[in-house]
Every structure is written in structure tokens, then in C-alpha cells.
Amino acid sequence: MEQGILRGLVAAAFTPFQENGDLALGQVSKLAQLYRTNRLNGVFINGTTGEFASLSLSEQKDIIEAWQEEKDEHLKVGVMLGGTCLKDMQELARFSAEQGMDAAALLSPYYFRPANIGVLVDFVAAIAETVPDLPFYYYHIPSMSRGDFLMREFLPLAAARIPNLVGIKYSHYNIMDFQAACLFEDGRYDMLWGTDEALLSGLVAGASGAIGSTYNYAAPLYHDLLDCYEKKELDKARMLQGKSVAMVELLFKYGGAGVGKAIMNLIGLDCGEVRTPLSGLSLMEHKALEKELKAIDFFDFCCQL
């Protein structure tokens, strides 16, 4: 993968909570150390994995401030501004710039949704223009936002309207659209792949980086996959991708969002539980999950503290 602003493997960070549901900001430094130990190049905060939709605006600012203390030239920090209120997103964008974040990202409004791709570009531009010096990404995740637009149609419009647009975080399975976006204007934009269980496909299509939740706890697996891809050892790369698929299937089996925090606990870093309306795992489910993770050799390729 080429080197972009959010380069290589970037962890989509969990938001750690205390037992009472308040932010556990003391865990941020431990997360940062985990990422450094496991050779991650950056962190994407307040995103889907970070439960941004369950955070207040002030909590999102608190998280940005906590990560500002951890960022350096080796650990870049990108912040997701996603929401439904234009004024809030503008305020959060300005705050992110003031705190020296390396980049910001925005997804499609997900309640009152844009009627067409032109309206979407207008919305993104209205926020990006408030921070003209901050590198800006569009976060394409139609499974959650329902903003099911083609990025190969978004980029020509956005290129003319958003000078600080630097790329797209692409969390979707439309590989044809992704590749076309990668080729736009000879690869002008950073195209960050956001589907961990299909990273190999993203690499072949031209991904310049990758942001994902499973990099929090399985980065060594993906480093090995990247090494094999670069060495053209594709059979081994496909085998490693198969391990990723098996791991992600367990996420779906045990309920998605809350499973990731349970796995973090298993590797020794407590991020608390998820906030309602998401659900965590019962004690029985925790034990069953650990057993199935052992069966796929997870503890041989998981992150080390």
C-alpha cells in the first residue's frame, strides 16, 4: 500500500467506557500503546466502532482531546464527524482542527438522507469548508448510513467543490465502484479500504490504506497478509485472509458491535461494554466465543500488549 495521510493499517478505535457508562479516557493511552506495539500507523476515532452515534457532542470532544495527547508522527489520528446536524458537525470539525487532528471524515446524513449525490456533495462541502487546512475524507458506509451512492460519481463532483478532500474511507463490497474511484484522475485520492475480511480484494483494486475494527486485536495477521501480498505470495495471502473471514464470522455469530470489546478484554485491554441500544455478551457467550477463537488459532495471531 502507498503512503497517505492515514497510511497502512489504521485501527478504528473503540470508545472505552467505565462500568457506569461514562467515558474511560484513562484507557486511551493504553490503546495508543497497543497500536504502537503492534505497528499500526494510525487510529480512526469516534467512528462506527467508536459508537459515535451514542456519544454526545461534548463526549466526542473529550475523546478528541484525549487522543490529541497520544498522536505523533508515527501514530496519526483521524476523527469521524458523522451525524445529522450540520451545525454540530461544523463545530466538531473546527474543534478537531484546533486540536491538531491529522484528518477528519464525514459520512452521509442517515435520518433525513440526501435526495441525490449533488445534495450529498453540498452537505460535505458545507462542513469541509469550515476547516480548509484540515485533510478531509468522505466515509462511505451505506450499510449503516443508507447513503448508497457511487463513489465514482461522487469524486468528480466533490473534486470541484471540496479543495481539502483527500480521499474516501470505503466500507462497502462494491469492488467495481471502489476500483473506479481508485483510478479517478490517476489515483489522485487516498482510497482507504474498510472491509477487513476482504482486505486482499481491496489491495488488488488499489487501496492506499485500510481502516478497520479487527486491526485493534488482530493486526499481526494483517501485517503478514500485507507482507505476502507485497512478495506476491498470493496463496499464503489468501490463506491468511481466510483466517480473517473465520474471525469476522464469529463477530456476526455473536452479535457484531459488542463482540469486539469482548475480544479486546480477552487480549487484556478492558474497553468496557457497549452502550444501549447495542448489546454486550453474557458470561456464557464470552466463554463460548473464547473457545471458538482458540479453534481458529486467534491467539496465535492476535495483538500483543
Q: Nearest-5° angle of CA 32, CA 37, CA 38?
A: 100
- Name residue 44's amino acid: F
Cell of 173: 463490497
The verdict on whether 139 is a catalytic residue reads: yes
CB 164 within 8 A of CB 144: no
Handedness of CA 56, 61, 62, 64 (dihedral sign): positive
Nearest CA-CA partner of 21 in 49, 47, 59: 59
Helix (H) or strand (E) holding 291: helix 283-295
Residues 6+ apart with CB under 8 A from 60: 46, 52, 92
- Of the residues 71, 76, 169, 243, only one is catalytic, namely 169
- Of the residues 137, 139, 170, 189, only one is catalytic, namely 139
Burial class of 300 by CB neighbour count within 10 A (0 to 12, 13 to 18, 19+) = exposed
Question: Side-chain half-sphere of 147: how many Cα atoms within 13 Å?
Answer: 30
CB 121 within 8 A of CB 159: no
- Name residue 250's amino acid: L
Residues 6+ apart with CB under 8 A from 122: 161
Centre a 10 Å sphere on the Cβ of residue 260 and count the other Cβ atoms it contains. 20
CA dihedral 121, 122, 128, 132 (to 10 degrees): 110
Active site residues: 139, 169
